[in-house]
Structure 1
Amino acid sequence: MSSDEHTETGTGWPQPADPRRPSGPAGEPDPRPDAPDPDELSPLAPEAAPGEEPAARDGGEPTVNLSTAEPAGGDGAAAGAPAGAGRRMSSAALMIAVLLALLGFTLVEQLRTTSADPTTSAARQEDLVRILYDLNARDVRLRQDIATLEESQRQLRSGEQGRQAALEEASRRADELGILAGTLPATGPGLSVRFEAGGGKPISASRVLDAVQELRGAGAEAMQISGGDRATVRIIASTFFLDGENGSLIVDGRRLTGPYTITVIGDPATMRTALNIPGGVVATVAGDGGTVIVEDREAAEVSALHAPIKLEHARPVS
């Protein structure tokens, strides 16, 4: 029996039995927790020589040596994994850097906004009050400027009406100045003052001048004097009076004979009171033997004109 075994194996020794998992009395699997898996190779199995396929077990299936098997995909796949991981790490680092830059920019803008005026934030309460006062004063000035410009705009929009009003005002002032200068005739309520000599004593130039001065002081606006020969002279600010021959009167170089009549425009009651005051013109002429007759006129006419005076030295102030 032993020789047959030696012959079958060809080794001169009995062929070792297949490593099998010990079984129980009824052929059940070994219940020990550390029992070897029956599918694992026995450590006593001979290793296949290089270039030789491993021996078949249990029906001739070849056993694969896992230690020499190459991973699927070869060396290229094994090398490609670290490269892809590196690219993923580079993209993540770039994204982190962009987010950090955006965060820094946001913080800088916030700080710039909250502390835009470091001088004001560090100013004292008194300084802040002064700044507020200056701003209020500037606001008032600007509002005044706006009001002035709006008024100018309103006047410009109503330019035609403004020009017409200006022309009317200029015409009115020209009329007033013309009456005062004696270059325009005038009419209005007033008085007629008549001087008649008596007692052989003529009416002197001083008495007529006193009457003119009292009438001016009482508000006379226009006057003229007429003689018995109907000669008439306009009385203005520059009019002068002189005594002439044979009781005549020289007014602005023109000779007038008595009796003399002054026609004056103004408030009749006021001028009458001024002439009749004690020691006034009426009393003085009466003391010389003459007579002064004062009559009211509802529409006194001053029609005599004075030639315009050509100024040689006076100039208007511009």
Structure 2
Amino acid sequence: MSEEHRETGTGWPEPSEPTRPSGPAGEPDPRPDAPDPDELSPLAPPAETEAPAETDVPAETEAPAERQTGTSAGEPEATAGGSVARRLTSAGAMIAVLLALLGFTLVVQLKTTSTDPTLAATREEDLVRISSDLDSRERRLRQDIEALEESQRQLRSGEQGRQAALEEATRRADELGILAGTLPAVGPGLTVRFEGPDKAISSARILDAVQELRGAGAEAMQIAGSDGTTVRIIASTYFVDAAGGGLTVDGRRLSGPYTITVIGDPATMRTALNIPGGVVASVQDAGGNVTPEDREAVEVSQLHAPITLDHARPVS
């Protein structure tokens, strides 16, 4: 195989066209029966086919080059298509991760807001009581706001303002006297009786009851023991378990059962005592019993001795 055939990759050479034999150095054929040079050999192809014969080899040699060129040109297109596909795949993965995180956040938020450990175990009637308690507190606060605004308007007017100021000062003194326990009080309220063993009606549970009643709007309270000993409950009142049973309230010993007399809105205070896990439930769990009774008018008559101030004095 010649070097030309190896380079073009055409394989073995194709049979060449029949040519007229010639003598040395291109001289005419000396044979006597040799055809005339001007005559065409019957084996020679027509003249029209000579042109294609001359271009057969270049066409064959150019075809592989064209195929090679097409293959190399297609490679960048395939590479570009693969890059685009990879980019689309990465974007889809990122979107899927973001959606998963968003869904997880929503689920956690829903679980957090819908699984309140306090309200989840609350009965419907208890929720109604709590709602009623909140409504009562709101009404009471609105009434206080209206009263204060009316007092402010009266105090800003001349002679009427001075009279209103005197009346306001008197009212304030009465309120402070009731809160301080130096004045008796009467009004609607409750009597709450605590019965049971000392563990069930300990000082901690009695203090919890007092705090619940204060939070529900109690304005005046007193506690009495079974022997009739009564102590006015004010802001500074303390409760201690006495040795041998009973309670020590502001230095005075009381024996059970105990009765707390309180002035305030009966429905609101009763609801506060009966909330789930509240005073009534804790006393009952310890083997005791709490009995609240509504009263149209109760009297808190026990007085507390005025507190002597050692260090504080009014500013003039």
Name the one with the larger helix percent.
Answer: 2
Task: Tell me the TM-score normalized by structure 1.
Answer: 0.48
Task: Tell me the TM-score normalized by structure 2.
Answer: 0.49
Higher alpha-carbon Rg: 1
